[in-house]
Structure 1
Amino acid sequence: MSSDKATAQAARRGRPTGDHTAKREALLKAAASVIAEEGYGNASLRKVAQRAGYTTGAVTYYFANKEELVTALAESRFDAYDAMLRAHGPSADMKALFEEWLATAASDPEFWPVVSQLLMHARYEPAFAALIERRNARTRAIHTSIVAAGQARGTVRDDIPADLLADHLAATADGWMMMIPFESERFTPSRLRALVDATMTLISPASGSRRPAESTAAGDTP
């Protein structure tokens, strides 16, 4: 966008005063709250503005329309998760990472309701679906590298390819996160710890385990 066009657009929307980063974050938080409580279809710019305590004009300064708003919200969710992965590093402790992953959902009742609404919306918006696919591919690659690092250290079973194991772990955690908002009384802190311990047992190397390719080497009995 040219500087002249950007200036004209800002003037048309009305340039709000104050900390722009903080206001943008407040609007994203308000959008998440509205979507979690009323669903994506009922989340309008007007409702988001009311929830944040701003005018609708202030919202359109940051986000021209609802699509821009939800796209920014999806990006912010991916950014937060990627930041958590970076904090743990490429040689992350799998148990600690899993525990923090689940703690995020358990401590934020809006987490999965918002994510699930955004994923459903992506089914009907090709551009938004492309964003989800792109960001998820990046996250999946990081998951795979962390699992592969664990396999190289001997702390994660290596009889299943790292990318398949990473997908299974992600699906397991996502399944728990999906149910936590509806069965919070069942997912107690002690149960979450037990679930993580069980998952770590499942991905730990078995004594004498070998890769599938090794078991079919010349001379081996199938």
Structure 2
Amino acid sequence: MTRRAFHHEPEEVRQNALIAATLDSIAELGLAGATVREVSYRAGVTPGLIRRYFDNKEKLVAAAYRSFISDLIAMAESGCGDGPAVSRLAGLIRASVTAPVADGRTLSIWAAFIGTVNSDPVMAQAHREGYQSFRDLIEQLVGEVMAERAVPATKPDIRRHAIVLNALLDGLWIEISMGGDDFSRFDVIRIALDSVATLLGIDPAEFRE
């Protein structure tokens, strides 16, 4: 367990530290174990200070979920780099199926959060926002790939591709993060890239490094 030292930090830094302590608690203890007392201990503050920024645990958890999803998307997007759309899409795929996006700790936190989506409207909204943000990123890249290759594609066509591609990455992400033996024997990046190439009608060689 890591206890953070709190000094006279700006409010944004303090809020981020509280969110980080919340995610650490959830990763190790689950949502039930991520109490205000536990989070305050890890953050090195009093429970009263947490309530200064978040009215209750539910709002703290929702803020942590939004931050968690936003960070995952940012890490995946960081793999895009520059260059042709095909290269940027390939970079996004690689980042999405490798650590730190795909690992056991990340999956544990996500699994704890996702169990609340059907019962908590605030968490459901946070989930929709996160899903939409990542799908929009994929949709943009797919559209650019199609345009780059002069392949006729309507907006509904591109959106359908983005939905399927997102579902494909979600499935691979879960399996890889669980650390199953089946995936340890294979080149998961190649599996992901070849699958997406097939979906988009691209020669898999175009995705090769």
Q: Please provide the CA RMSD for this pair.
A: 3.2
Structure 2 Cα separation of the partners of residues 205 and 158 of structure 1? 12
- Among all aligned residue pairs of Structure 1 and Structure 2, give the percentage whose two residues are the same amino acid: 23
1:66-105 to structure 2, matched below 5 A, reads: 66-84=57-75, 88=80, 91=85, 93-103=88-98, 104-105=100-101
Question: What pairs up with 1:100-115 in 2 under 5 angstroms?
Answer: 100-103=95-98, 104-106=100-102, 108-115=103-110
Unaligned 5+ residue runs, structure 2? 1-6, 204-209
Aligned residues: 192
- 2:169 aligns with 173
> Where do residues 5-84 of structure 1 align in structure 2 (5 Å cutoff)?
17-84=8-75
Instruction: Go from structure 1 to structure 2 and tell me whether the alpha carbon gap of 1:156 and 1:184 turns closer, same or farther (over 3 Å shift).
Output: farther
Unaligned runs of 5+ in 1: 1-15, 208-222
Question: TM-score, normalising length from structure 1?
Answer: 0.71
- Report if aligned partners of 1:40, 1:121 keep a CA contact under 8 Å in 2: no
Change (3 A) 1:72 1:149: same
Is the Cα contact below 8 Å between 2:135 and 2:162 reproduced in 1? yes
TM-score of the superposed pair, with normalisation by structure 2: 0.75
CA separation of 1:82 and 1:180: change in aligned 2, threshold 3 A: closer
Q: Deviations over 1:96-123 (max 9, x none)?
A: 11111222323x5321221222122121
Segment drifting more, 62-71 vs 132-141? 132-141
Deviations 1:39-78 (A, max 9, x none): 2233211111122232222222222211111111122123
Corresponding residue number in structure 2 for 1:164? 160
State the 1:157 CA deviation: 9.6
Higher Cα Rg, which structure: 1
Deviation beyond 6 Å, 4+ runs, structure 1:
none
Q: Equivalent residue for 1:191?
A: 187
